[in-house]
Structure 1
């Protein structure tokens, strides 16, 4: 079977032409009349004239005409009532007119144009998507490195290309938030460097609250910066308090606070506290050493060595305390020995020479009695009491006459004090020489 439109050979069961798409006519629908129909016609059909009529009706004046149209065509007179018909199964007449080709070329060109435009538009959108994805990735990488300004430039460019992408708007807002927090944290760092602790602490409290609500990874480096500023603030506060701390216990408490921090400033303050502990330990030890309190001085040095066991100044002072303690103990031993000796000598003196006889006088009165009187002095180092003077009397030839005693008044004599004594010997009527035999007393 052949297509009545383009003449292409088609399978018998085909409905539409595989070449031009026209609907195929079956033999029952064919325009070629059967012999019975021809016999019934009164006038024979001129197929060439019919073809010309079809061409003239399907073309405009501007379309080219077939060459055959320039030749006169004469309608054949019907010689008989029968017309020869192409045998069944032979290909029908194929038109070679350009107009018939245009009927499928123009739609094809339009379809190709539309397809090309759609393909270009699709490829263009794909290129934009690739560019947006790349800009988004670059912005994310820059933001994670803390380079917020170039990250914002990248994400803004991507948002301009795809303004309806919600993820771009969300990430842009997030980067702007991180940039604002970073700027404020940098201001806090500047305040801390200028030792402006109060405004820095106030800002840090606010920023910490804001960061606590953010779980995105972009804020991790800002949290790290905030923690570093918090540690620096704590170190500076401790450093400011150092001048007011003057005990090892108070300094040790602050040292514990600083050791929980992990930054360079904390290490510096740690050493400052250690140095102050050493200074206080040495000061306390020196003061106790002057008081010869060697045990407490040693304890003061050990208190400092707990925090700096290899400090040369403390170790040197510890050796000095030990040396001075040994020297003091030796001197004290010698002093005690001397004191004991002096005490013994003093005691001997107090017991044997504690009273000095200042004078003794005798006088024969008009009644023939001898009056004896004199003074003594306490030369002992202790008070004495119950002093008694023993004496004897001799005549002019030196013969012994009598012996007796007299008590000194007052009864008690302090060291360096003097007392007097007096006595009477009756009925001698001659001059008598009195000699002091002994003096006795008691030590308190």
Structure 2
């Protein structure tokens, strides 16, 4: 009984204190540990955000470039704008955004030019295309270079319209040849048809000009014109047919010319013979006489085609038996006679014997 009581009493030899009511103090080590933990968490958060941002920028950039490739400018601009706003320090993103906006404006200009062509308006298109080409080369924007073929198509269509209108004017063969060269380098619908039209006009104009020369018997010039036309339209049947016509007419003309020349030579020979042997005729003459003198007077004429000079008239006096009693030679006055010109002659003889008749024996002259 006494033993149990002694065990339940507190002992005065083992005292204790209660510190449960007091604040705990942070040690420097614990404080440093907390700061390090907060920094790690902050850096992790920043790193995670930056990584997420970079991934999104890459995603937007890729989506923007892909949309730009397919010329979906609105989507491309939206994505690249997001990327540029997220990373404003990236100059490449801003350059890509500017390139897209520039390409969009470039395409709108081309669309406007195409609409003008549809309405038949081509006056300033050539100049506009040249300006856009300079702009494209200056900016070195790859998205602009993608429109090169479209620009070429617009330029060629405008050129075709311009040439069509030019063909309504009166053009020379040289001008038409220049148009034909331009059209031959165009790979557009309607170019072949226009080329055939130009060839037809060259052929028609060649035939017209050759016909004008042919009327003047300028066979070589006419053939040269046709050959020029055939140089541009070698298969044109009208040109080939007209070429044969020129050759045929030239041959006929040459034959006629040969015949005319032969006839002219014969006529020249005849005229020369006439001028030498029959050109001078005595138009009239008269003889007067007394007991001792016989006088001869008369007129001569140049019936030839050339002038003559020094016309000598030889005359004789005959007796009853036909013997020459006297003879003389006289010269007409003037000494020089043009064709159809006339001259006079006079002469006299002393005759002591009886005579029966007087005759003009011969006439001689010199051709000029």
Q: Same fold (TM over 0.5)?
A: yes
Three-state SS of the structure 2 residue aligned to 1:227 is: helix
Q: Which runs of 5+ in 1 are unaligned?
A: 1-38, 44-124
RMSD of aligned Cα (Å): 4.2
Per-residue displacement from partner, 1:40-87 (whole Å, max 9, x unpaired)? 5549xxxxxxxxxxxxxxxxxxxxxxxxxxxxxxxxxxxxxxxxxxxx
Question: Which residues in structure 2 correspond to 1:33-432 (within 5 Å)?
Answer: 42=9, 144=69, 146=71, 148=72, 151-152=73-74, 154=75, 164=85, 174-191=99-116, 194-197=120-123, 199-213=124-138, 218-233=143-158, 246=172, 248=174, 251-253=176-178, 255-264=180-189, 267=192, 270-271=195-196, 273-364=198-289, 368-394=292-318, 400-427=324-351
Alpha-carbon distance between aligned partners in 2 of 1:431 and 1:238, rounded to the nearest angstrom: 102
1:95 maps to: none
1:211–1:219 contact (8 Å) kept in structure 2: yes
Three-state SS of the structure 2 residue aligned to 1:415 is: coil
Report the Cα offset of residue 390 of structure 1: 2.1
Three-state SS of the structure 2 residue aligned to 1:393 is: strand
2:333–2:344 contact (8 Å) kept in structure 1: yes
Alpha-carbon distance between aligned partners in 2 of 1:145 and 1:363, rounded to the nearest angstrom: 130
1:144–1:217 contact (8 Å) kept in structure 2: no
Per-residue displacement from partner, 1:94-122 (whole Å, max 9, x unpaired)? xxxxxxxxxxxxxxxxxxxxxxxxxxxxx
| TM-score of the aligned structures, taking structure 1 as reference length | 0.57
Report the Cα offset of residue 423 of structure 1: 0.9
Per-residue displacement from partner, 1:219-242 (whole Å, max 9, x unpaired)? 344222222233345556666777
1:228–1:263 contact (8 Å) kept in structure 2: yes
Three-state SS of the structure 2 residue aligned to 1:324 is: helix
Report the Cα offset of residue 203 of structure 1: 2.7
1:188–1:200 contact (8 Å) kept in structure 2: yes
1:368–1:430 contact (8 Å) kept in structure 2: no
Report the Cα offset of residue 287 of structure 1: 3.6
| TM-score of the aligned structures, taking structure 2 as reference length | 0.67
Q: Which runs of 5+ in 2 are unaligned?
A: 1-5, 11-51
Three-state SS of the structure 2 residue aligned to 1:436 is: strand
Change (3 A) 1:288 1:40: farther
2:17 maps to: none
Structure showing greater Rg: 1
